Structure 1
Amino acid sequence: MAYRETEKMRQRKAQARQRIIDSAWACVASGGFRNARITRIAGLAGVATGTIYRHFESREDLFAEIFRTATQREVDKVAEALHGPADAAARLEAALRRFAERALRAPTMAWALIAEPVDPQLEEERLLYRRAYAELFETAIREGIEDGSFPDQDARLSSTCLVGAIAESLVGPLSPTLSGQATLANIDKKRLVDTLLAFCLQGLTGTRR
């Protein structure tokens, strides 16, 4: 008789997989991908190291899962801020502010998602999500052109410029090697975010907002 996996076994496997994901997430959030060791993840999850590789083909596959989940959460928050009754410029400003403020509240995870040197597989994921942000911003810019919030422009090119500007401007403050947590704590975060938003919106509108 062929072996048939029981529902109880499927549930146990699913629970083990989720514990592995949760433990990997905690490691990345506290020390980035570089410091997320498989042995530590296994210990936190309460499984053997080999069990991780029964759920994920490689360390890179596990980290790609964490990257996708974490980044999609941030993309969703930006998308949420882009919806509302205000004009497109105000909604875009709210979305950019949310992106920056959330990054500064969780600097280690934000650094891991935005700029930490990673394996090629994760770099591909990063490019996909930069594109997702750009597509959201492009839609908002097109709406702004229609409602008069923004002058006529290449919405696609402008959106990619926004993604580059906001991500690059946060690299220094978030970097554990360039600034460190102690330095980040001393940064005037409100001024940083306000300056970043003023730059982005001035680039879109041609005027200071």
Structure 2
Amino acid sequence: MPQAPKPRASRGRSLKAPGASRDAINRSYPRGARRKRETRARLLDAALKLVAAKGLSSVTINEITEAADVGFGSFYNHFESKEGIFTALIEWLFEEFADTLDRLAAGLSDPAEVIAVSVRHTLLRAYREPVWGQLLIREGLSPRLLSRGLGLRLLRDSEKGISERRFVIADRFMSVITVIGTVLAGIAAELQLAISSKRTVRARKVLRSKEEKFAQRTAAIVLQAFGLTRVEAERIARRPLPTVPDAPTLP
């Protein structure tokens, strides 16, 4: 998902690890199974917080277990390695976001607008939550991309546009890869810009306005990759964004 800029504290809503809320855990599970789920949730929550504070590559298993108040050996009852816990964390975060995009697009009939809304929300969330953006860049370069989550939705939505003759493209697969590369490059550029900018209230407001315009321009470029004219692509990319619904917490 190239190396991303070192993350900093999120400016928007904080990331929530899967199962981080104990109220979300199904109390009908036997005590042993419930404890195992609770321990796994604590490990994931601790890993996410450490990644936000230190960056992905700097976190150790020992730090995760210390932060989660879990014995070092117990870690391996849930995950095979540090890479394993990061994979589980990434999979949940982006499945959750992909489901959010589906809810956002539920009332949209134009496949082009569905794509534009998805691209814009992806870029804006990466801007609000730099750790999330860094993880998306990491995931975007993984072999899993087109088999689940955001990649799978992009393939689905592009197929719908093609079947309805809304999109005219010579090579479906290469068009999707081009779109993914455009979005990831945009996230990497905007994360670097946000990190290097001064953190004054005025600067944040100006940057936010630039972010929204950048997300619109990126969405227009993506739509042109699917065969729309520049004028129509820009018009669709400037339409008001649907409101982001609350996402459920994974039990």
Pair 1:60–1:84, CA change in 2 (3 A): same
- 1:30 to partner: Cα distance: 3.5
Distance in 2 between the 1:10 and 1:89 partners? 45
1:127 aligns with 2:127: no
- 1:48 to partner: Cα distance: 2.4
Pair 1:148–1:12, CA change in 2 (3 A): closer
Give the structure 1 partner of residue 179 of structure 2: 162
Match of 1:107 among 122, 130, 137: 130
Pair 1:134–1:21, CA change in 2 (3 A): closer
State the TM-score, normalizing by the size of structure 2. 0.66
1:73 aligns with 2:87: no
User: Could you report, residue by residue, the CA deviation over 1:149-168 in whole angstroms, capped at 9, with x for unpaired residues?
Assistant: 33354333212211111112
Number of residue-to-residue matches in the alignment = 193
Helix, strand or coil at the partner of 1:127: coil
Give the structure 2 partner of residue 96 of structure 1: 119
Mark the structure with the bigger radius of gyration: 1
- 1:15 to partner: Cα distance: 1.7
- 1:114 to partner: Cα distance: 0.9
- 1:130 to partner: Cα distance: 4.6
1:29 aligns with 2:43: no
Give the structure 2 partner of residue 140 of structure 1: 157
Alpha carbons 2:140, 2:184 under 8 Å: kept: no
Structure 2 residue runs of 5 or longer lacking an equivalent are 1-29, 234-251
Alpha carbons 2:61, 2:82 under 8 Å: kept: yes
**Structure with greater contact order relative to length (CA < 8 Å, sep ≥ 6):** 2
- 1:131 to partner: Cα distance: 4.8
The residue type equivalent to 2:177 in the other structure is: T
Distance in 2 between the 1:10 and 1:137 partners? 36
| Structure 1 runs of 4+ with >6 Å offset | none
- 1:68 to partner: Cα distance: 1.5
1:41 aligns with 2:58: no
Please identify, of 10-19 and 105-114, the stretch whose mean Cα deviation from structure 2 is larger: 10-19
Give the structure 1 partner of residue 197 of structure 2: 183
User: Could you report, residue by residue, the CA deviation over 1:98-149 in whole angstroms, capped at 9, with x for unpaired residues?
Assistant: 111111111122212314xxxxxx788x331255434422332333234443
Distance in 2 between the 1:47 and 1:75 partners? 31
Give the structure 2 partner of residue 13 of structure 1: 36
Pair 1:142–1:151, CA change in 2 (3 A): same
Pair 1:60–1:45, CA change in 2 (3 A): same
Distance in 2 between the 1:57 and 1:68 partners? 16
Structure 1 residue runs of 5 or longer lacking an equivalent are 1-6, 116-121
- 1:89 to partner: Cα distance: 0.9
Distance in 2 between the 1:173 and 1:53 partners? 37
User: Could you report, residue by residue, the CA deviation over 1:84-103 in whole angstroms, capped at 9, with x for unpaired residues?
Assistant: 33211111111111111111
Give the structure 1 partner of residue 247 of structure 2: none
